[in-house]
Structure 1
Amino acid sequence: MSESMLFTLPDAEDNSFNIAEHLPAVVYFYPKDNTPGCTTEAQEFSALLPQFKQLGYSVVGISRDTEKSHHNFICKYQLNVTLLSDCEENVCRQFDVLKEKNMYGKKVFGIERSTFILDKNGNIVQEWRKVKAAGHAQIVLDTLQNHV
């Protein structure tokens, strides 16, 4: 796990966000803005953001939604985490989070809810895949508190 996972994506305000300038970081991938699980996860990461920052970590959420969708999602739920748009799915592929899913009997490709901790060099030092949204942000925070 020594491959550096650096990337640059647009944020909700259409600014270029270079992860290298925000390391170490917690990077979480989620399927879609304004859906129940994704809203829960974003709200929990937002609520715990001061504690992540205290440990020196940025928190970044990534989905295939547009910048405008992210902006509306942030405003609707008063989120304070950074949300990035990966409409081209390049970073999703880089982290291997696109998986075949079964939605209402149809096979579709979508983001498998996953979280990664990147160290100051952009290397993955911890990962969670097939995450359950509720309570996950606390698990990530606990992991960091026990290893920092």
Structure 2
Amino acid sequence: MTQVRLGEAVPDFTLPSTGDKTFQLSALKGKRVLIYFYPKDNTPGCTLEGQNFRDNIDFFNEHNTVIFGISRDSLRMHENFKTKQAFPFDLLSDADEEACQLFDVIKLKKLYGKEHLGIVRSTFLIDENGVLQQEWRNVKVKDHLDEVKQAILDL
């Protein structure tokens, strides 16, 4: 399977979205797209990451940037998480790991001494022409928002 590369166009993909919608990357030409992959709804790090993006939505709107969060959780779980946190952006369900494979975010992780395959927190910034301009892997939530905002300003 093809995987994304910096400086190259991101292959088009489609995923089910909150709000009973369907996300299609190619439909967003002309806008910057920020996609963040996170392990699981309603967990501390994932909640904080989403809240950081939520609390800075005006910045993203001013810079023609739309945000989408992706995890393997169901749409029902996403709807509850989005509502509970008042996220002003949609969450995408990647139960089949199509986007996870495309962006190569599924890795072997350890939790309580046991290994399992899971999503490594990662963020991708795609420009108005669908080209991947920036990627952050193994994201630490604390300083991540500032890095993302600076990358958007630098585009």
Deviation for aligned residue 1:17: 1.1
**Alignment of 1:111 onto 2:119:** yes
**Aligned counterpart, 2:10:** 4
State the aligned residue count.
147
Deviation for aligned residue 1:127: 0.5
**Aligned counterpart, 1:102:** 110
User: TM-score scaled to structure 1, two decimals?
Assistant: 0.93
**Aligned counterpart, 2:61:** 53
**Alignment of 1:39 onto 2:42:** no
* Percent of residue pairs bearing the same amino acid type: 42
> Where in structure 2 are the equivalents of 1:66-145 lying within 5 Å?
66-145=74-153
CA–CA separation in structure 1 for the residues paired with 2:10 and 2:50: 25
Cα displacement string for residues 21-69 of structure 1 (whole angstroms, at most 9, x for unaligned residues): 2232111100000000000000001111111111111111100011110
Letter in 1 for 2:80: N
RMSD between aligned alpha carbons?
Answer: 1.3
User: TM-score scaled to structure 2, two decimals?
Assistant: 0.89
Q: Is the 8 A contact 1:10 1:84 kept in 2?
A: yes
Q: Equivalent residue of 2:56, what SS?
A: helix
Deviation for aligned residue 1:138: 2.7
> Where in structure 2 are the equivalents of 1:10-29 lying within 5 Å?
10-22=16-28, 23-29=31-37
Q: Is the 8 A contact 1:6 1:20 kept in 2?
A: yes
Q: Is the 8 A contact 2:122 2:135 kept in 1?
A: yes
